[in-house]
A = this chain, B = another copy of it.
């Protein structure tokens, strides 16, 4: 999906749900553990939550081709790199979860910042003023992120996110955000890994925000999560412990062309499969699917108003335009959530 700083989208969608994300006690997530929904049953048919149409067959055909020894399309396991966008591809992106976190954090920190009541974008955030927050634009969103994501150590930030993600719920579905992940995509992650792939997230979202819960939720460890970054500074605490301080300065926005650039930096090997859902994923798909050998590109198309949300080029959240236009010529699989997926979210 879009980087947290993208033009207004995050603000608009986040504000649609302002004040809604909240609830309940639950024990904080550890960084380890196996996500139950990802584990494949030995001997079972792969991808059980996918209807057996062209999309499922395209996935199965690709995986069979690159994993069959002797096949002209065979790819050695070390080169089986698959990259996934997160927001809108692996979990629900309306509202933008990380912006929900930022707004909750503004409310939490407000007593220590009396000036926020009269200063944008904080005033708008505190009052749930959609128009005001949208009017603050990208600069406003960045200011909001910096005020809520910086100024503490990495360890402290991790603890803050862990506490929040254990409790915050989706305003429409009432589920914990970590349960608004897509069951068919969890199965796809597990199937690829069982087929010798290494799975990475390449997201516009904040790298440290995601790393807190991706291992438990997706089975993807921190070192396989790539995202937008802010600068950090190493220092020794008064007790002599090394720690990383989060600085209020953007380091890198992992969106659009930034995605293949980040893949080059973090992975150093061209992926052979890429999965996205918006124009922010276009260049990542182009990079993964124009190298030598067999490759695979997939776009998740949000066309299921009943079970999730329907939006693409024509909606107020329309961000799937150019990638959709190019998908046919590029040979990318366009997944209809409505037709291709038996279920959307994990049971329970």
User: What's the least CB distance linking A10 to chain B, in Å?
Assistant: 22
Bitwise interface map of A from 198 to 211 toward B, beta carbon under 8 Å scored 1, else 0: 10100000011001
* A265 and B222 contact, CB distance less than 8 A: no
User: Chain B contacts of A241 at CB under 8 A?
Assistant: 290-291
Knowing A242-B286, A290-B240, say if A222 contacts B261 (CB, 8 Å).
no
Question: How distant is A256 from chain B, measured CB to nearest CB, in Å?
Answer: 9
> Which of A21-29, A37-45, A142-150, A228-236 lies at the binding interface?
A228-236
Known: A32-B76, A241-B291, A242-B260. A268 touches B211 (CB 8 A): yes
State how many angstroms separate the Cβ of A71 from the closest Cβ of chain B.
Answer: 17
Cβ of A261 to closest chain B Cβ, rounded Å: 5
Using A79-B32, A198-B223, A221-B78 as known contacts, say yes or no to A234 and B268 having CB atoms under 8 A apart. no
Contact B233 A257 (CB under 8 A): yes
- Interchain residue pairs with CB less than 8 A apart (27): A32-B76, A32-B78, A32-B79, A198-B223, A207-B265, A208-B268, A211-B269, A221-B269, A222-B267, A223-B223, A223-B224, A223-B268, A223-B269, A225-B268, A229-B265, A233-B261, A234-B257, A234-B260, A234-B283, A240-B290, A242-B286, A242-B291, A243-B287, A244-B260, A244-B264, A251-B265, A266-B266
CA distance A186 to B193 in the complex (A): 28
Nearest CB in chain B: distance from A263 CB, A: 9
Contacts A234-B260, A241-B290, A260-B244; A207 near B268 (Cβ below 8 A):
yes
Could you tell me the distance in whole angstroms from the C-beta of A252 to the nearest C-beta in chain B?
9
Number of A interface residues at 8 Å Cβ cutoff, please give it.
Answer: 45
Question: Does chain B have a CB within 8 A of A281?
Answer: no
Q: State whether the Cβ of A85 lies closer than 8 Å to any Cβ in chain B.
A: no
Counting CB contacts under 8 A, is A31 at the interface? yes
Instruction: Find out whether the CB atom of B76 lies under 8 angstroms from the CB atom of A264.
Output: no
Closest 7 A/B residue pairs (Cβ): A222-B268, A242-B287, A234-B257, A241-B290, A242-B286, A234-B260, A211-B268
